[in-house]
Amino acid sequence: MRTKLSSLLLKSIIKHHSRPCINHFNYSHLWNRIQHHSQTLKNFGIQPKDRIVVQTNIKTIDHVAMIIAAWDYNAVVASVSSDPHPSIVPKIKPTITMDSFGSITKHETSNDKKIILQTEHHDENDPCLILFTSGSTADPKGVILTHKNIVSNLQMIQTLYKDNITTKDRSFSILPWHHCYGLVCELLYMIKSGAHIVVPKNFQNPIEELKWSRPTLLFTVPKMLERIQKSPWNTKHTGRFLKYYLFGDQLRMMSVGGSNCSSAIIEHFDERFQIPIYQGFGMTETSPMIALNSPYAQKIGSVGKPLSDVKIKIDRDEQILVRSPSLMLGYLDKIDETNTIKTCLPNIEGWFPTGDKGYMDNEGYLFIKGRVKHEYKLSNGKYVNPGYLESLLLSSSNFDQVLVIPSDNMDYNVCLVYTKLSAYDAFQEVQKICQGKIEKYEIPRKVFLLQTPFTVDNGLLSMKLEPKRQEILKVWKNLIF
């Protein structure tokens, strides 16, 4: 094997043994916990390609140690939340299940718990990780990633960021580790860099702890930044005071991903707080990063330039197609009776379709226009990409949530908003924002006020805090049409 993921991480753990790793634990403590869990796996008779489920919403050093120990055994880790979608766990067929505190449940073993490849020897193309997509447009899909997939993505990020993230850095970890962005871009990259990760004690309200952790880096999602921008505090206090009050005195940059972040938010943080935000574009299937802005190459409004070994093509329908060494092995449900992956990748002439529309400018920066699946055609024959319209409307501090859908007869657009404005004022605000910025047929003709917001708890937001369009349409179409 040329590069095994666990070898890359263990090398850094040994090198930085005396430095802080996760909360008050240093890297030598992580090393000891990995050895402990390695012995546990040996006692359970774990074999290469056995599947181990780490099922939790709580982030601990044992969580990390078990994952690395499993990879060192060449086992396959499935990282899922403590309350996963009902379709998820039956697909995995694990050998053992572990929670964040090291409690292990053993399952009946059989050959159908291994993912079988065409070769029997261990190499960089062996599977090591199963992650599930957020399920914002359909049931979550199990994505199978290999050692090579993840290592190549980490190395491409390193090539772009150079020595910009070092042992002196500290992140405040608010992203879930069962999603690719939080697991690879934050947790694994920080360990690879010998940096320090602070995990909040109160996962329900981590903002209260953020400033006390004094992070230098923050990996986040657009929704969190939107809430800060639209907070009443933002108009009552100076940027300098708010920066210290919210983030402490050492925050020097943020990384934002998971969904599209508007230029207005990035410009706001840069101008008001002097905090640069570097937006990227990726997906679970690409381990995850495809393109990324950085301190060395940044264009606000774009998602950056493609990573060094990533090839991008825009097809005639404006869909972004990708080739990359970090492209997944395949989907968990594309496996036959013997558990051999029968369909490696859905592809168009060797290119992986991302499902996103976009374009490249003449300097090589990638811009995202919205999801192909979300696009619809009005009765006038014109296509609408609601994601772009929603991003435009969310630039208003008066709107907390926005969803654009077609009218029942597909003649015009309708807008659902969560706001403190009256219905009349909300309609006027929509018209004012849209005038001159989009085509006349795209401007919503009707605006409806949401009485309660979309949330993860009511099933209308995904774990990435994106609206679940199909679920929302089921609820709202009967009420408003």
Do β-strands 399-406 and 413-419 pair in parallel, antiparallel, or remain unpaired? antiparallel
**pLDDT tens profile 260-301:** 888 889 999 999 999 999 999 999 999 999 999 999 999 999
Domains of the chain: 1-372 (3.40.50.12780), 376-480 (3.30.300.30)
Say how many CA atoms lie within 13 Å of 18 toward its Cβ. Answer: 0
HEC letters along 440-457? HHHCCCEEEECCCCCCCC
Question: Residue 334's pLDDT is what?
Answer: 60
Q: What is the DSSP letter of 82?
A: S
Question: Residue 383's pLDDT is what?
Answer: 87
Omega of the bond leading into 288 within 30 degrees of 0 (cis): yes
Given a contact cutoff of 8 angstroms between Cβ atoms, the answer to whether 73 and 83 are in contact is: no
Question: Residue 326's pLDDT is what?
Answer: 96
Element (H, E) at 235: helix 233-236
Q: What is the DSSP letter of 298?
A: -
Say how many CA atoms lie within 13 Å of 270 toward its Cβ. Answer: 15
Using CA atoms, how far apart are residues 372 and 356, in angstroms rounded to an integer? 5
Q: Give every CB contact of residue 237 below 8 A, 6+ residues apart in sequence.
A: 245
Given a contact cutoff of 8 angstroms between Cβ atoms, the answer to whether 354 and 322 are in contact is: yes
The pTM score is 0.85
Q: Which residues in the chain land under pLDDT 50? A: 1, 110-111, 116-120, 342-343
Given a contact cutoff of 8 angstroms between Cβ atoms, the answer to whether 15 and 44 are in contact is: no
Name the residue with tokens 């990409």: 385
Q: Using alpha carbons, select from 293, 316, 437 the residue that is nearest to residue 363.
A: 293
Given a contact cutoff of 8 angstroms between Cβ atoms, the answer to whether 105 and 99 are in contact is: no
Do β-strands 142-146 and 127-132 pair in parallel, antiparallel, or remain unpaired? antiparallel
Q: Using alpha carbons, select from 118, 102, 111 the residue that is nearest to residue 33.
A: 102
Q: What is the DSSP letter of 194?
A: T
Amino acid identity at 162: K
10 Å Cβ neighbour count for 222?
Answer: 24
Amino acid identity at 123: D
Question: Residue 314's pLDDT is what?
Answer: 96
Name the residue with tokens 């800060």: 228
Name the residue with tokens 């030598």: 28
For the record, the structure tokens of 443 come out as 């401007």
For the record, the structure tokens of 84 come out as 């996963």
Question: Residue 338's pLDDT is what?
Answer: 56
